[in-house]
Amino acid sequence: MSLSTLGTKSFRVGRSRTGLGLFATREIKKGARITRYRGPLLDHDTAVRVESRGNRYLFEISDDWTIDGKARSNVARYANHSCNPNAEAYYYGRGVYIRALRRIKPGEEITYHYGMDYLRNVIGIANCRCGRCVRRKARMRRERAAKLKRATARAAKRRRRS
């Protein structure tokens, strides 16, 4: 499916767990090109300068070039990070596109993995709020609580015996 076939009616910008996100408005088939990451190309030095001023929508395409995607017209900027994504960013010609890794249902948030460097250095692995990480952290909290409860019960049982 080409970009022109999908069009902007296949997704909308809406509220997500992490702020604004990109959501499917109809089924998107596996392999479909969803949107293009748009913006001016910046050389390395300019990108470093812009990033130091707080621009969070920079997409590094090589050591020398970065796309500045801060314009609101760049709807790809609203695709959030996930450690279990349903889409991916890929290069084609001189552009960066987002395509579906699997079938995406209407209403589902469109996400892609931003890369380990971004996850480590910008988001922070412990701060990731994607669905997969939120569920993992909740499971770990439940497991710690259950372990503490068992340890407390064993200690109380030992005290009663003595």
Other C-beta atoms lying within 10 Å of the C-beta of residue 89 = 18
The whole-chain average pLDDT of the chain stands at: 87
The CATH T-level fold of domain 3-137 is: Beta-clip-like (2.170.270)
pLDDT tops 60 at residue 67: yes
User: Which residues, 6+ apart, have CB-to-CB distance to 149 below 8 Å?
Assistant: none
Alpha carbons 128 and 132: distance in angstroms, whole number: 9
Average pLDDT over residues 126-152: 77
Alpha carbons 20 and 80: distance in angstroms, whole number: 8
User: Which residues, 6+ apart, have CB-to-CB distance to 101 below 8 Å?
Assistant: 30, 85, 86, 87, 88
pLDDT of residue 9: 74
Q: pTM for the complete prediction?
A: 0.75
How does residue 3 score in pLDDT terms, banded at 50, 70 and 90? very low
Average pLDDT over residues 7-27: 89
**90 bridge partner residues:** 97
Handedness of CA 59, 61, 62, 64 (dihedral sign): negative
